[in-house]
Amino acid sequence: MADPKSPSAFLSYSHDSNEHADCVLALADVLCWHGIDVILDRYVRTAP
């Protein structure tokens, strides 16, 4: 769980191409690296 004082961001994007989704994932990774709690569909595990 993230620090309650850290900023958070919910990233919403169109799923129009894999390249676009990869760019959004890269952005999310950079934000996480800078201490921002990111909510992104590709970070959420789905049930088996």
Q: How many domains does the chain divide into?
A: 1
Mean pLDDT for 9-36 is 94
Phi, psi of 18 (to 5 degrees): -65, -35
Contact of 40 with 24, CB cutoff 8 Å: yes
Q: Which domain holds residue 39?
A: 8-43
For residue 15, being part of any structural domain is answered with yes
Question: Taking 60 as the threshold, does the pLDDT of residue 27 lie above it?
Answer: yes
- Averaged pLDDT of the chain: 88
According to the model, what pLDDT value does residue 3 have?
Answer: 62
Instruction: Quickly state the pLDDT bin for 2 (edges 50, 70, 90).
Output: low
Question: Taking 90 as the threshold, does the pLDDT of residue 46 lie above it?
Answer: no
For the entire predicted model, the pTM comes to: 0.76
For residue 1, being part of any structural domain is answered with no
